[in-house]
Amino acid sequence: MIKTNLTAESLKVTGRIEKDQKASEWTWLGTGGKPLITFYPDSIEDLAMFLKNRPQNIAYKTFGAASNVLIRDGDCNGLCYDGAFIRLMKGFRKLTIEGTQIIAEAGLPGSFIVNKALEQDLGGISFMATIPGNLGGLITMNAGAHGKEMKDIVNWVEIMDSNGKIHRLTNTECNFTYRHSAIAQDWIVIRACINTKQEKRETITQELHKLIAHRKATQPTKGKMAGCFFKNPSSAQKAWQLIRNATVDANAAINASQTVCVSEIHANFIINKNNATAFDLEYFALQLQADIFFKQNVWLEMEIERIGYYR
């Protein structure tokens, strides 16, 4: 365990620092131990100050809504990460509109950006409203839905490196592929330019209502869960179909207390049913992965990001 004194004074930051905050308090799955500190920067400049002044042996991991992560439970003291968790929230929610382009900071939810675009009769980005998460995470993982991905609408992305310096990447330089981008682990997306198109407000509204209704009908919206747990192995094979066919899915729980199950609405959503630990959830996912591989000859890659360590 790394021992160091990380305070707002030593780091010369104005944002909030929490020293005993468990990730289970803010992750969608409701799991996770605590890092050395959790830092909530007030602004892009505050984030840069943190990165410049932190001891170089202190690693960091950045989060927004934490809707697509599984953070492990940690050791006997609850410590799950020998470093800092950085959460880009209220200090990263500025938005401006220039013609048909939206410049938005990383802490903004996709649905908020869509609604702000709608106010200016700007469409072409409605799919973002159906994806849980904030802009930074959506871009880093090239999130997508309804046949569109972030790569289809991103003009440029600004990232901050581990030294607090800002770089601008073009869409091509991001090298977007299915649920992946070339944005490095220690780079932090801080803002991006999103391309939209001028449309009639009625047309945009109708599309939004259709997509949101489809999501409510085909995906669970209540309970402790993240987004899809596994990537689709191909355009022709859907992860939820493979999971539905798995024998472990019929059992639906991994232990006597039945803490974990897959959603009856969409099998690629794994639900923390009754105060499951991160270990419970991950073990269940690994069971599914193995069962599908041995019986259906397909290896499902996890879409959810797993972070930290166990006891």
Spatial distance between the Cα atoms of 279 and 70, rounded to a whole number of angstroms: 10
What value does the mean pLDDT take over residues 273-290? 92
User: 258's torsion region: left (phi>0), alpha (psi -120 to 50) or beta?
Assistant: left
**What is d(CA 180, CA 158) in angstroms, rounded to the nearest whole number?**
17
In a 3-state reduction of DSSP, which class is residue 204?
helix
What pTM was estimated for this model as a whole? 0.92
- Alpha-carbon distances of 8 from 5, 11, 39, 161, 188, rounded to whole Å: 10, 5, 9, 20, 20
- Token duo for residue 168: 């601008």
Closest alpha carbon to 168 in 195, 190, 150: 190
pLDDT at 289 over 60: yes
C-alpha closest to that of 107 among 59, 47, 155, 165: 47
What residue ranges define each of the domains in the chain, with the CATH number in brackets? 8-90 (3.30.43.10), 93-218 (3.30.465.10), 224-305 (3.90.78.10)
pLDDT, residue 245, reads: 87
Q: What is the pLDDT of residues 57-92, one digit of tens each?
A: 999 999 999 999 999 999 888 899 999 999 999 999
Give the full edge-to-edge strand order of the sheet including 16-18.
Answer: 16-18, 34-40, 79-87, 59-63
Q: What is the mean pLDDT of residues 143-164?
A: 97
- The pLDDT score that the predictor gives to residue 211 is 96
Q: Which two tokens stand for residue 41?
A: 């920067």
Q: Phi and psi dihedrals of 59, rounded to 5?
A: -75, 170
